[in-house]
Amino acid sequence: MVTNDLNARRDVIFDVIVRSYIETAEPVASRTLSRKHSIGLSPASIRNVMADLEEQGLLTHPHTSAGRIPTDKGYRYWVDALMRPEELSEKEKQWILSELAKARTIEDMAERLSKIISELTENPALIFIKNLKRVSFLNYLLEDLVKEVEKLNDFLEEEPEIFIQGAFRIFKQPEFQSLEKMRQLMLEFDEQAHLLQLLVKDLGEQGLHVHIGSESPLGDLDGVSLVVKDCYMGTLPVGGVAVVGPTRMKYAKAVSVVDFVADSVTRAMERY
């Protein structure tokens, strides 16, 4: 019972630290927690818990600050065990569904939805289409499928496409104010090789995936996370929806947006 109580207290403090850091981008100190949040512990007791969390690898602290910030391991624990997805409002859901209904082509859909995702999550949004030509081919030429074997083979070998919207948003984050980090991230967006590697790897693995910091193979770029979910046409995975942002991103919102958009696209895919 004592151990359970200690773990519960640890989780409460850790949850507050993560949410505070996500919101402010400022390292969180024990005195701040004691003063601003109803935790019911003295600064000294909070410091002891924070020291334990740091020893477990869930927190770290910048050299110039007495406050703590989450590590990649800490974000992983928080996302998997403590985070509660932020429910989308009916207005947000209707906005997504309305724009989806207006789209007349796959490309139009990708552009419309990626703009919405970027605005709702305040981060760059990606729409990944692995089978763009195949989707169109199967819809519009299905009756001639047997006679179009050579064309089908060409479509099966197509290069995937990524539609990116809102890249500028990530550069508003304090983590990406340095010119070197800006250059590295823009290179990733421009060349897309590592993004494609990650998205193709996820393609067909059902469910929503959160890749945090060092978990994602984005070259030498540190401090970046991705939230990804695939879209299907029947049982065929044809692409995915993703948000890319700092490890300090608002995961609760990003997870809900990506989940809802990906499922909506899957339901609507038969139109294309």
In this structure, the answer to whether residues 115 and 250 fall within a common structural domain is yes
The 10s digit of each residue's pLDDT in 158-203 is 567 888 888 888 878 887 777 677 777 777 677 666 677 667 777 7
In this structure, the answer to whether residues 43 and 24 fall within a common structural domain is yes
CATH number at residue 17: 1.10.10.10
Q: In a 3-state reduction of DSSP, which class is residue 38?
A: coil
CATH number at residue 221: 3.30.450.40
The domain containing residue 162 runs over which residues? Answer: 90-271
In this structure, the answer to whether residues 119 and 30 fall within a common structural domain is no
Domain boundary pick from 82, 101, 125 = 82
In this structure, the answer to whether residues 30 and 114 fall within a common structural domain is no
CA distance 118 to 166: 6
In this structure, the answer to whether residues 59 and 103 fall within a common structural domain is no
In this structure, the answer to whether residues 263 and 220 fall within a common structural domain is yes
Task: pLDDT tens for the chain, 272 residues: list them.
Answer: 445 667 888 999 999 999 999 999 999 988 888 877 777 778 888 889 999 999 999 999 887 667 899 999 999 999 999 999 999 999 999 999 999 999 888 888 999 999 999 999 999 998 988 755 544 444 444 444 444 444 444 444 456 788 888 888 887 888 777 767 777 777 767 766 667 766 777 776 788 999 998 887 665 567 889 999 999 888 888 889 999 989 999 999 999 999 999 999 999 877 65
pTM, two decimals, is 0.83
In this structure, the answer to whether residues 127 and 218 fall within a common structural domain is yes
In this structure, the answer to whether residues 105 and 70 fall within a common structural domain is no
In this structure, the answer to whether residues 31 and 62 fall within a common structural domain is yes
In this structure, the answer to whether residues 184 and 228 fall within a common structural domain is yes
Total domains, the chain? 2
In this structure, the answer to whether residues 22 and 119 fall within a common structural domain is no
* Own/partner pairs, 15-21, CB within 8 angstroms, 24+ separation: 15/78, 15/82, 17/50, 17/53, 17/59, 17/68, 17/70, 18/70, 18/74, 18/75, 18/78, 18/82, 21/69, 21/70, 21/248
40 Rama sector, left if φ>0, alpha if ψ -120 to 50, beta otherwise: left
Domain boundary pick from 59, 82, 105 = 82
The 10s digit of each residue's pLDDT in 138-147 is 444 444 444 4
In this structure, the answer to whether residues 37 and 164 fall within a common structural domain is no
Strand ranges (E), 120-272: 125-129, 161-165, 208-211, 224-233, 236-246
**Residue tagged 């995915």 (tokens):** 240
Identify the CA nearest to 262 among candidates 242, 236, 234: 242
Q: In a 3-state reduction of DSSP, which class is residue 58?
A: coil
Domain boundary pick from 27, 59, 82 = 82
